[in-house]
Amino acid sequence: MNPQNESAGGPQERRIADLTILYEVSRALQNTLNEEVVLYTILVGVTHGRGLGFNRAFLLLIDPAGQALEGRLAIGPSSPEEASVIWQELRDQHRSLGELLQQVPLIAIKRDLRVNQIVEQFRVPLSDPQHPLPQMVRSHTPCLVTGGAVSPRGLPIDAHTLGLLGTADFAAAPLFLADHDIGLLLADNAITRAPIEADSLRLLQIYAQAASTAIQNAALYRQLTERITECERANRVLRESQRQLLHAERLSTIGKMAALLAHEIRTPLVSIGGFARKLLRTTEEGDPRREELTIIAEETGRIELMIGEVLGYSKAAKLELEDTDINALLRSVLAALNETLQRASVRLVFGLDPSLPPALVDKFQLRQALINLITNAVDAMPGGGSLTVTTASDRDFLEIGIADTGIGIAQEHWDKLFAPFFTTKSSGTGLGLAIVSQIIENHKGSLRFESAPGQGASFHIRLARRPGIAAHDVVVPAETQR
Amino acid sequence: MKTILIVDDDRNICRLYQEELEAEGYHIALAANGREALDLVSREMPDLILMDVRMPEMDGLEAMARLLRKHGGVPVLLNTAYSSYQDNFLTWAAEGYLIKSSDLGPMKKKIREILAA
């Protein structure tokens, strides 16, 4: 920015001016912990006319791995023409260094400047013992380069560095805290070709100390933020798994209670139903009590069946896998439910793949799952409708589809659909779909559904043709996956 | 006439089984738990024992284990509301394992099979 220092006067005034610069920059640096803003603020201080007044400044920092010195950010015009435009603008705005520095967090940091294309090309491995730049960092002493060599000792600067900078004269101040090396601050007057004074170098050194602290603080702050984010994420994961654990525990408690209750109910049911059957047998044909006794016997049988379901659900069943013709299984289930389908005026539509290969499944369990899905479908069509049963297969999987044209499933029920004891029916155990879900899970298969209110629902069971393939691995829309 | 010893702590179950099995032509003896069953066996010399599992004082599995040790040959048919006992290897020593049901048909059939053997 403006290299033409407005400082002047005697040594006393000069010292006050220097202190003012350091104060302004320090204050600006204290206001932020954003690494980018800190770096930019440092560079503005080095190049501003009321700051250190260099033409250009480059920040090279040691990478997080501690392997190399890398160019990070630079500031300054690329030509005398550009320089005069920028400096005129700044003069017109009459902004003090303090005012300008306050603006830094608000302005977009210009990475497309030519100086930033230059700085990005700096990458010097610290392991290179010959390279002058890492040596400058390690020396912890500022130096002045004139005519392409460090003065006055004469350590030559490599041609690559000089070529990148486009000048043979610059000042270099190492950035470090105690014995911890941070990087290197380079400053030059490549545009005005003004010589760099010893006082400027001395001030740059003091300035570099403040800059080192600010860079280190910002880096620590960034690391801290990253760690905190990491901790928060871990905490979230932990909370979620704790929630799932509690849920599972609750389910298992409910399951145990249900099992206990079911067993306790079984015994009196045997007496009720057993005596009803006995009386039925000994009551003469034509006696009106026969009908009532039939009701007692049948209803008892129904409760016993439900209890069997609850216990089947509560107990993690062992799978008895055998090669099964799924089409035949579906046909036999539908034949068994034929009367139910007819009574409900449900029309059957078949879309069975005739070349469906056999699948290794527990026939008894899968049969139960299909009965539950089909019964649900029928219940969802109180006014009748059509039930579409499909099968399909590919190399690894086969799929069974059960679709109805019924009332559909309201979206608010989607996430509870497979939870045990959840039901929208006036009568029902709320275990039907939970059992289906458990059975499909036992088979390492996947179950998904699609539905819209009034448009029916369709359930798709996906099973591996051979063990060892989990259908879970297949991507299906998250909201319907189960 | 074959004798069946019914062991169950539920009086209604005992009564139902007794009436139904007597109608099938068996002689019936009753015990309310495993300990009573042990006392009765030497007196009644049953041809078959229909044994509940969960009972106070002495459960059916323990009673069966003691019975088999003492009177090796008596067939025991376990009859319980619980399917979970099947995991207990002791139940393998029984002639059969029946889940309690109000439909006594399967039980009667199993008894006929065991007694015919």
pLDDT digits (tens, 9 = 90+) for B58-117: 889 889 888 877 776 789 999 998 877 776 667 777 888 899 999 999 999 999 999 997
Based on its alpha-carbon atoms, the radius of gyration of chain B, rounded to whole angstroms, reads: 13
Confidence of residue A349 (pLDDT cuts 50, 70, 90): very high
Helices A363-379 and A326-336: crossing angle in degrees, nearest 10, is 50
A38 touches A175 (CB < 8 A): no
Confidence of residue B19 (pLDDT cuts 50, 70, 90): very high
Q: Domain A242-314 classified CATH 1.10.287?
A: yes
Is the overall model pTM greater than 0.80, yes or no?
A: no
In chain B, count of helices (H) and strands (E)? Answer: 4, 5
Task: Tell me the CATH number of domain A321-480, given options 3.30.565.10, 3.40.50.150, 2.40.40.20, 3.40.50.720.
Answer: 3.30.565.10
Does residue A91 or residue A28 have the better pLDDT? Answer: A28
A400 touches A446 (CB < 8 A): no
CATH number where B58 lies: 3.40.50.2300
Alpha helices in A9-121 (DSSP H): 11-30, 35-47, 80-93, 97-103, 114-119
Q: For residue B13, which residues of chain A lie inside 8 Å, CB to CB?
A: 267, 270-271
Strands B96-99 and B3-7: unpaired
- For A418-458, the pLDDT digits (tens) are 765 566 766 555 667 878 887 898 888 999 999 888 889 99
Fold of A11-227: Beta-Lactamase (3.30.450)
Q: How many domains does chain B have?
A: 1
Does residue A78 or residue A343 have the better pLDDT? Answer: A343
Out of A64-73, A100-109, A297-306, A435-444, pick the least confident. Answer: A100-109
- Check whether A475 has a pLDDT greater than 60: no
**Domain boundaries, position B43:** 3-116
Chain A closest CA to B46's CA: distance in Å?
24
The residue of chain B with its CA nearest to that of A296 is B102
Residue whose C-alpha is closest to residue A395's, from A446, A462, A464 = A464
- For A289-328, the pLDDT digits (tens) are 999 999 999 999 989 888 887 776 544 456 778 899 999 9
Chain B closest CA to A284's CA: distance in Å?
17
- For A300-311, the pLDDT digits (tens) are 998 988 888 777
Are A264 and B13 in contact (CB < 8 Å)? Answer: no
Structure tokens at A41: 């603020």
Sheet holding A457-464, edge to edge: A346-351, A385-393, A397-403, A457-464, A446-451
Whether ipTM tops 0.90, in short, is no
Single-letter code of the amino acid located at A391: T
Q: Give residue A473's pLDDT.
A: 45
Q: Could you say which residues from 305 to 344 on chain A have a Cβ atom under 8 Å away from some Cβ of chain B?
A: 311, 315
Average pLDDT over residues A177-197: 92
- For A248-278, the pLDDT digits (tens) are 777 777 777 877 888 888 999 999 999 999 9
* Cα A53 from chain centre: 46
What is the C-alpha separation between B63 and B53, in angstroms, rounded? 9
| Residue in B16, B84, B103 closest to A275 by CB | B16
Are B12 and A271 in contact (CB < 8 Å)? Answer: yes
Confidence of residue A14 (pLDDT cuts 50, 70, 90): confident
What is the C-alpha separation between A455 and A381, in angstroms, rounded? 11
Query: What's the half-sphere exposure (Cβ side, CA atoms, 13 Å) at A166?
Result: 16
